[in-house]
Every structure is written in structure tokens, then in C-alpha cells.
Amino acid sequence: MKSKDISNALLRTIFILLGIAICGYFLFSISSIITYIIVAILLSFVAEPICNFLQKRFKFSRTLAIVSSLLLFILIIFGIIMLFVPLILGQSKNLSLLDINSLEKNYTVFINNVDVSLQAYGIDYEKYFNVHKIAQSFNFNFITDILNSIIGSIGNFGIALFSIIFICFFLLSDQKLVTTNLRAVLPDNHRWRIIASLLRIKNMLAKYAIGLLLQLLIVFILYLIVLLIFGVENAFIIALLGAILNIIPYIGPIIALVMTAFLTMLGHINENFQTVVLPTTLYVIIGYFVVQLIDNNFSSPLIFSKSTNSHPLEIFLVTIISGTLFGIVGMIVAVPFYTAAKFILKEFYPDNTFIQILTRSL
């Protein structure tokens, strides 16, 4: 091979890698918009049967049926938000009574009691770690930081909701227009393959949306049972918020656990820390761990492996990789993107051995 050919091949490789990097950066920059589009698509799949029902049963026009369906979703969302108002007001009152210095003092007393108990049983733990140094480095100000970050995200929620509803409306109202334009721009030799892939992806996303709602329902019920058993105030609302946070793989349950532990402590702020607050909080934390064990090992793998026809290990690896590359947004959209890519690969490369192994369950 001539040196000129080698140089040209090297330049092509560099430009291809550069193009991939630019595309990756661009997708990362608009990751929030991509999330809005995906959520709108999933919402349109849920809303479409409602629209068809209103059209057939009550003779609504298509536009009126779409508007009615989306208004129903908006009312449900605002109804859920209004459920949180008593929680916010009540916990704001408790927060005003919360003395961070007193909490740190009680925490230090608890650590000292643990130290005395371990020494009484002859357990020499200081060879491995220094409990007192860990206790001194623990900063309880993270509690207020979490609350401030939650309050700061409320404004972004309004923008996200408007964008999702707006996109969903046009997805439902202009389905034929989208299909017609898509057929017009697709190349003739691959047109029907692409359309077939998109139809299969649509069916998969509909199943995924139903599976996601089912998972949230299971997690909500289990969280609610735990909170009711240990007498946590506003159990329904806290369980609902924890189930919603569970949409974020792996990180969401941790946020829900910290939030619930904090709210449990606030709910018993006027009671004895060591005999009431601490044991109740520990029991709730243990209960949440049990719920996550059930969800991660039984309900979630079963639901998503059935709805996406993917092995649970595939889902885990794809979610971790997407989270590393694109953060929380990447973790949320990883599974539908991955499954859609499998449908496309199977349609265009059915004879490839690796693709056959990867898509054998589709």
C-alpha cells in the first residue's frame, strides 16, 4: 500500500472519530430535550387508547379527544403535586424546629454508646477504622443542601411538563403526516425495512411504558407498607415520591432512602432521639433495603426482561454504561434506546452472527 493511501485512510479514520465525538457531545448537550421527546412518545402510547375510546364511545373529534386525554394527565399530575403541599408545609414547620447542633450532639452520644458497647464485648474495631474520626467528619448540613436542590428543581419541572405535553399533542394529532413525510424522505431500497423497524419499536415502547408503570405501582405499594408499619407521617405521599424517584436506576432509590430517613426523623423531632427517632429511622431504612432487594431481584428484572425481551444482565450493563457516559438522563433512556437499536440491527443485519446472538430473544 502506498504512503498516500495510508495517509488518506488515517485521515478518514481521524475525521470519522472526530465526527463521532462531535455527535456524542451534541447528543449530550441536548440530552434533556431527548428525554422530553422519549417521555412524550411514551405518554402518547398511553394516551392513544384513551383518545380512541373517546372518539368511538363519545364521538369526540380527534383534536378534542387528544386535548381531553392530555388534560386528564395534567390533572393527575397536579393532583399528585397537591398531595405534596401538606407534606411540604408540615416538614417546613418541623425543619424550623430542627437544631443541627443538637442533632450532631445526639449523634456523637450515639457513637460513644456504640464504642462502649463494642469494648464491653471485647471487640477491637480500632485496628480497622476510627469511629470517632468518622463521626467528626460527618456533616449534617447536607440535609439543608438536599432540600435546597429539590426546591431549585421545581422550576425546571414546569418547563419539562410544558415541553412534553406540547410534543405529545403533535405526535398524537399528526401521526399520518409524520408517517407520510417519513416515507417520502426514506430511501427506496430501505424504506420498508425502516418502517417495519419503527413499528416494532413502537410496540416495544408501549410495552415498556406499561412495564414501567407496573414497576412503580409495585414499589409504591411496598414502600407504603413499610412506612405504615412504622407509623411514619404522610406515608402515602413519601411512598409515592420514592416510587417516582425509582425511575432513576440505582441512584433514585438512594435519594429516596435518604429523603425518607430525613423525613422520618423530622416527623419525630419532638421525641427522644435514641429511644424513638433513631430506632424508627433504622427500621425504615432496613425496610427500604428489603423493598429494593425485591425490586432489583424479582419484579424489575421480570417486568423489563418481558417488556423489552432483554436479559437482566444486558439491562444492567447498558444502564451502567449509559449512566457513565451521559449521567442520570442516560440511565433513564438507556433501556428503550438499547432495545430500539436491537430492532434496527436485526432488521438490517439479520445474517450477522453477533447480531443473531444479541437479538435472539426478539
The answer to whether the CB of 309 falls within 8 A of the CB of 339 is: yes
**What average pLDDT does the structure give for the chain?**
75
Residue 62 lies inside a defined structural domain of this protein: no
Residue 95 above 80 pLDDT?
Answer: no
Domain tally for the chain? 1
Q: What letters, b where the CB count within 10 A reaches 16 and e where it falls short, cover 198-216?
A: bebbeebbbbbbebbeebb
pLDDT score, position 297: 76
Residue 106 above 60 pLDDT?
Answer: no
Residue 165 lies inside a defined structural domain of this protein: no
Domain limits for position 325: 192-362
pLDDT band at 110 (very low <50, low <70, confident <90, very high): low
Query: What is the Cα–Cα distance from 180 to 177, expressed in whole angstroms?
Result: 5
Counting residues of the chain whose pLDDT is more than 90, the rounded percentage is 6
The answer to whether the CB of 263 falls within 8 A of the CB of 234 is: yes
Q: What letters, b where the CB count within 10 A reaches 16 and e where it falls short, cover 177-191?
A: eeeeeeeeeeeeeee
Of residues 254 and 334, the one with the higher pLDDT is 254
Residue 254 lies inside a defined structural domain of this protein: yes
pLDDT band at 272 (very low <50, low <70, confident <90, very high): confident
pLDDT band at 226 (very low <50, low <70, confident <90, very high): very high
pLDDT band at 219 (very low <50, low <70, confident <90, very high): very high
The answer to whether the CB of 250 falls within 8 A of the CB of 260 is: no
DSSP-derived letter for residue 175 is H
Residue 292 neighbours by CB under 8 Å, 6+ apart:
253
Residue 112 above 80 pLDDT?
Answer: no
Residue 268 above 80 pLDDT?
Answer: no
Residue 311 lies inside a defined structural domain of this protein: yes
> pLDDT (tens digit, 9 = 90+) per residue, 124-176?
656 555 655 655 555 555 555 555 555 556 657 777 888 888 888 888 887 66
The three cell numbers locating residue 254: 438512594
Residue 321 lies inside a defined structural domain of this protein: yes
- Up-side HSE of residue 61: CA atoms within 13 Å toward CB? 4
Residue 317 lies inside a defined structural domain of this protein: yes
Residue 239 lies inside a defined structural domain of this protein: yes
Residue 91 above 60 pLDDT?
Answer: no
- Max mean pLDDT range (26-30, 106-110, 124-128, 147-151): 26-30
Residue 186 lies inside a defined structural domain of this protein: no
Tally of helices (H runs) and strands (E runs) in the chain = 15, 0
Mean pLDDT of 209-220: 84
pLDDT score, position 259: 84
